Structures are given as structure tokens and as C-alpha cells.
């Protein structure tokens, strides 16, 4: 339906654009300097407005961290019903500002519209060395796959909306979603990784699929995946967001996971918000990456390897 929309450009300053989909767009503005831009917004996923703001800001800026950029500025994007308490919007903006300050990012403006359903997010801009941009392409056989945050935020967020989320799961999910990927980004720049992305709406398998070309596959170990407390139990009870179901419909055919239970399989496709970085190391550099992550205070999990193949993902227990 949208194939007629132009996605190519003749502008040589565009280093990453619509014709090469990635986590953010990259534009060279001067020798040795590029700007990296992204945008994201969504409806409330937690009950507390302040936490919603924190999570939305961390989620938006995650695209910059995934490409190795340093956040610089942000614009608030607000859709708000006229009959909804403006004090709640104030708390959303305060939460977002707190995370922006933590990221060293200045909020310089924004835009608000009247909308029956509240939404909030940010348009973010960062800066980077054009020669050190990390993209989703570049993974090679022998590279280790490392994940820096637990999976299950989509399932837990759905449980919150349904009033079924255990308190421990809620707190763990909020803590994870509001945590910046800044330290993980710095670690991957220091080790010179092959490729990276952040795990968000398309789930682990969907974002991993974006890193694999037709000559690459991945082998994962389910036991190595970091998971939020209660996520498997909630999935087993059928607490699943629509995005998670759509992810499985879209990418289920490429996954081989015969040893897993039905609930465990759902975690592979769970639509994440402000998830961790999924990093493919250089061959033989997995230990170095994990060591540098630990030095930066990040508990990275070695979840599998990149191998020669055809785009499939094999998951063993």
C-alpha cells in the first residue's frame, strides 16, 4: 500500500536513512560530526504518570544509544484530552525531564495537541563520530550475542492494565524500563562491536531478525535469557499484549524452539518498551565485551551466537 512512497535520497550527507532502516537516522553535518535523530511516543503503560514520563524518555533516547550517539536535545510530544487532569501531565513532563537530565540531554521545546487518548514521547537528537556509528548490519559468524536488560516488559505492562501484575514484577519492570542504555552504549563503543540494536516493539526475535541477513542465523540459549520476575507465569495465564501476538505471527516461522513450553516461546516475541541493547560482538571478543560492560556496571547476558545460515533463529533450552 505504501510502496509508492519515496525512501531514497541523493543527499550524500545522509549516512543512514529510509533506504537502510535502522534504529535512527544519521546525517553528516561536518567532517567528523554527524547528528543522529529518532522519535517515539506511546499511550500510558504504567499507572504512575511520573514513571510513564521516565520510561518514555528512556525509550526514545535508547535509539541513539544503540547507534553509539551521545544525546544532545529533545522535544516533548504530547497528546492530551481536555478533560484529563493537567497536574498528571505535569508529572509526566517532570519524569521525562529527570531522565533527560540524567542523559545529559536538554529539552528545548515540544508540541501538544488535543487528543481523546493521552500519549507522550520525545523527538531526540544526538551527536556522533560518523566513523564510529554502530548499525544493525555488520554481524558476522562467530560473534557473541549479548543482551543488557531482561525481557517481559510487554507482558508485565499488560498485566498492569488488567490488574493482574504482582508488585515485584511491576517494580522490576519500571526499574528496567526507566534505566538508560548509556553505560551499555559506552561499553560497546570501547570494544568496537560488530552490530547492535535496542530491543523494543518487535521483540527479541524481531529485532534479532533485523541483524541477520540471508547468510546468517542465530543460536540462542533460553536459559541464558534474562527475564522479569513473573513474566513466564503471566504468559502461561494468557496475559499477552497485542504487539507480542503480532510479533509471533510475523516472525514465528523463522524460529526453531521445540524444547520450550508455549509460555516460554511467547517471551521470545514479547513487545518490549525501553528494552536493553542487543549487541553482536566481534568474533572472539565476547569475553572482552562482557568484561567492559561489567566495568560500566551493566550485567550483560551472553544469550547466543551468530552463525552461518539463512536467517533462522534456533533456541535451545
Nearest to 200, CA basis, from 312, 300, 61, 59: 59
Confidence category of residue 310, pLDDT binned at 50, 70, 90: very high
10 Å CB burial of residue 7 (0-12, 13-18, 19+) is exposed
Residue ranges of the alpha helices (H) in the chain?
A: 49-66, 86-103, 153-161, 167-178, 182-191, 203-209, 231-236, 242-251, 262-269, 286-295
- pLDDT tens sequence across 35-46: 999 999 999 999
Model confidence, pTM: 0.96
Residue 26 has pLDDT above 70, yes or no: yes
d(CA 143, CA 75): 37
Residue 2 has pLDDT above 70, yes or no: no
Nearest to 123, CA basis, from 24, 33, 18: 24
Average pLDDT of span 193-222: 96
Average pLDDT of span 174-189: 98
Determine phi and psi for 166, rounding to 5 degrees: -65, 145
Domains within the chain, CATH numbers bracketed: 14-131 (3.30.1330.10), 134-316 (3.90.650.10)
State the pLDDT at residue 15: 96
Residue 294 has pLDDT above 70, yes or no: yes
Nearest to 229, CA basis, from 147, 166, 163: 166
Residue 160 has pLDDT above 70, yes or no: yes
- pLDDT tens sequence across 94-130: 999 999 999 999 999 999 999 999 999 999 999 999 9
Amino acid at each position: 500500500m505504501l510502496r509508492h512512497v519515496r525512501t531514497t535520497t541523493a543527499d550524500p550527507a545522509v549516512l543512514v536513512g529510509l533506504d537502510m532502516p535502522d534504529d535512527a537516522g544519521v546525517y553528516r553535518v561536518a567532517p567528523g560530526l554527524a547528528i543522529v535523530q529518532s522519535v517515539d511516543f506511546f499511550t500510558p503503560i504504567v499507572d504512575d504518570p511520573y514513571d510513564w514520563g521516565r520510561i518514555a524518555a528512556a525509550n526514545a533516547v535508547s535509539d541513539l544509544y544503540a547507534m553509539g550517539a551521545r544525546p544532545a536535545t529533545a522535544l516533548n510530544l504530547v497528546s492530551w484530552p481536555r478533560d484529563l487532569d493537567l497536574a498528571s501531565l505535569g508529572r509526566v513532563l517532570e519524569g521525562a525531564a529527570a531522565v533527560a537530565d540524567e542523559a545529559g540531554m536538554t529539552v528545548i521545546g515540544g508540541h501538544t495537541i488535543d487528543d481523546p487518548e493521552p500519549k507522550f514521547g520525545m523527538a531526540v537528537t544526538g551527536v556522533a563520530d560518523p566513523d564510529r556509528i554502530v548499525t544493525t548490519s555488520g554481524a558476522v559468524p562467530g560473534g557473541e550475542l549479548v543482551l543488557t536488560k531482561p525481557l517481559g516488559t510487554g507482558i508485565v505492562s499488560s498485566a498492569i492494565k488488567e490488574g493482574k501484575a504482582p508488585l515485584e514484577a511491576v517494580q522490576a519492570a519500571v526499574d528496567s524500563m526507566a534505566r538508560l542504555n548509556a553505560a551499555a552504549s559506552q561499553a560497546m563503543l570501547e570494544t568496537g562491536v560488530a552490530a547492535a540494536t535496542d530491543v523494543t516493539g518487535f521483540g527479541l526475535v524481531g529485532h534479532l531478525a533485523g541483524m541477520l541477513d540471508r547468510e546468517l542465523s542465530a543460536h540462542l540459549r533460553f536459559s541464558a535469557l534474562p527475564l522479569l520476575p513473573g513474566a513466564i507465569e503471566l504468559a502461561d495465564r494468557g496475559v499477552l499484549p497485542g504487539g507480542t501476538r503480532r510479533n509471533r505471527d510475523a516472525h514465528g516461522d523463522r524460529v526453531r524452539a521445540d524444547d520450550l513450553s508455549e509460555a516460554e516461546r511467547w517471551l521470545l516475541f514479547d513487545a518490549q518498551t525501553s528494552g536493553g541493547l542487543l549487541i553482536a560482538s566481534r568474533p572472539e571478543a565476547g569475553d572482552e565485551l562482557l568484561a567492559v560492560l561489567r566495568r560500566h556496571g551493566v550485567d550483560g547476558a551472553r544469550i547466543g551466537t551468530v552463525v552461518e545460515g539463512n536467517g533462522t533463529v534456533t533456541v535451545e533450552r
